[in-house]
Homo-oligomer: A and B are copies of this chain.
């Protein structure tokens, strides 16, 4: 059926997709991460997922392997809407960017994203682990990849003149601003409803004003 039920028991956790059961374990880890940050024990994971510690170690190698698998699992779950219209009117362009911005803000202010980024940040800086790298790849860098084709279309239609570097940096800054770092530092004053829509709207307007100047 799935590779985790084969005799050889998932040889390398980094290459194979997690089985159903493994996914349950990883979701348990995500829960614990939201609740306790980095301070959960392997025993608590085993208990929460109703599995044995031995199984955890057989499947994921060690604690860091479990964390890595969890981060990758979450990354695989977050898919951003990818609208790629071939013809691009200004209204559609702006709406696309607004949706993108809103979606992004919702993701980075979510419990799981905050927990994951806290984990990655606190583990970054020591070699031995690739957590920071992975979150970096699946955060800003992936967003950039998804944004670039939209920028390209906008550029083609004459709405935008800046290069990808500048455009992305500007867009990121206007949309995210201090939201993420404040969330990571524990600021809870961001949960005003409708806040995200207001911010997305303004950010895209500002972005257009900047990139649309002749």
Contact = CB atoms under 8 A, between A and B. Distances in A.
B122 A38 contact: yes
Contacts of A173: 172-178, 203
Interface stretch (A55-63, A79-87, A129-137): A129-137
A121 B184 contact: yes
A166 B201 CA distance: 13
A138 to B, nearest CB: 11
A119 B209 CA distance: 38
| Residue among A114, A133, A176, A184 with most chain B CB within 10 A | A184
A185 B122 contact: no
A140 B172 contact: no
A53 interface: no
Contacts of A118: 121-122, 124-125
30 contacts: A36-B126, A37-B125, A38-B122, A39-B126, A115-B125, A117-B121, A117-B181, A118-B124, A121-B184, A124-B186, A132-B186, A132-B187, A133-B185, A133-B186, A135-B185, A136-B186, A139-B181, A139-B185, A140-B178, A169-B177, A169-B178, A170-B174, A172-B173, A173-B174, A173-B175, A176-B177, A206-B210, A209-B209, A209-B210, A209-B213
Interface of A: 36-39, 114-115, 117-122, 124-126, 132-133, 135-136, 139-140, 166, 169-170, 172-178, 180-182, 184-187, 202-203, 206, 209-210, 213
